[in-house]
A and B are shown apart, each in its own frame.
Chain A
Amino acid sequence: AQKVTQAQTEISVVEKEDVTLDCVYETRDTTYYLFWYKQPPSGELVFLIRRNSFDEQNEISGRYSWNFQKSTSSFNFTITASQVVDSAVYFCALRASSDYKLSFGAGTTVTVRA
């Protein structure tokens, strides 16, 4: 069974601050995928990134960066120089490569104040 833990329920920052969202996972599968999704107030889930378990290279996309550490079973997400538009609920998810199901964390609500 897979489990994804997002220990931070809510994070509030002032615009231009950096914010890091923690994600810790548990799985017995040797090959799996990790994901981050953003859910703005409109409700639609927006896909941000997929990371394969065999690829521990960190990734940067604009103001977003992801730190995957297999040794600690973590896949953390950092927003640099946050903006009000970054305010949303962010979900971390896990899927075994042989499975069709995504296991989601409980989500972290990020509020960026102007």
Chain B
Amino acid sequence: SQTIHQWPATLVQPVGSPLSLECTVEGTSNPNLYWYRQAAGRGLQLLFYSVGIGQISSEVPQNLSASRPQDRQFILSSKKLLLSDSGFYLCAWRSLGQGRDEQYFGPGTRLTVT
């Protein structure tokens, strides 16, 4: 079966500090991967999308970047965090085949920028 991991689970960082959030998927190969952000009390905003190693699509211009150094690894980064970067960050992978076509989400990382 497939599982998706995210770490850290929670993070408190000062404004101006760098950021690195990691997402890994097990049990599947060449998955489509996504990064979403959920601000407090709001819906989900798609940040980045990747169909393969080194292939990143950015949805919203912002202070963040993403990389996919390995097939099942997706990293969200920032060189200098802003207060507005606070939120709940969710990684997801897209399950395809055998009549399935839906996204499954990881446990999330709660980021507080102080």
Contacts and interface: CB of A to CB of B under 8 A. Distances in A.
Interface of chain B: mostly helix, strand, loop or mixed: strand
A44 B43 contact: no
Interface of A: 33, 35, 37, 42-47, 50, 91, 100-102, 104-107
A105 B49 contact: no
Interface string B88-111: 101010100000111111111010
B44 interface: yes
Given A44-B106, A47-B103, A101 B49 contact: yes
A102 to B, nearest CB: 6
Interface of chain A: mostly helix, strand, loop or mixed: loop
Contacts of A101: 46, 49, 59
Contact of B43 (A35, A42, A47, A91): A91
Given A100-B94, A106-B42, A106-B43, A44 B49 contact: no
B112 interface: no
Contacts, number: 44
A104 B110 contact: no
A44 B92 CA distance: 10
Interface of B: 32, 42-44, 46, 49, 51, 59, 88, 90, 92, 94, 100-108, 110
7 contacts: A33-B101, A43-B88, A44-B107, A50-B100, A100-B94, A101-B49, A104-B43
A44 B110 CA distance: 11
A35 B103 CA distance: 10
Counting from the closest, the 9 A-B pairs by CB-CB distance are: A45-B105, A106-B43, A104-B44, A43-B108, A50-B102, A44-B107, A104-B43, A47-B102, A107-B43
A42 B108 CA distance: 9
Given A33-B101, A100-B32, A43 B43 contact: no
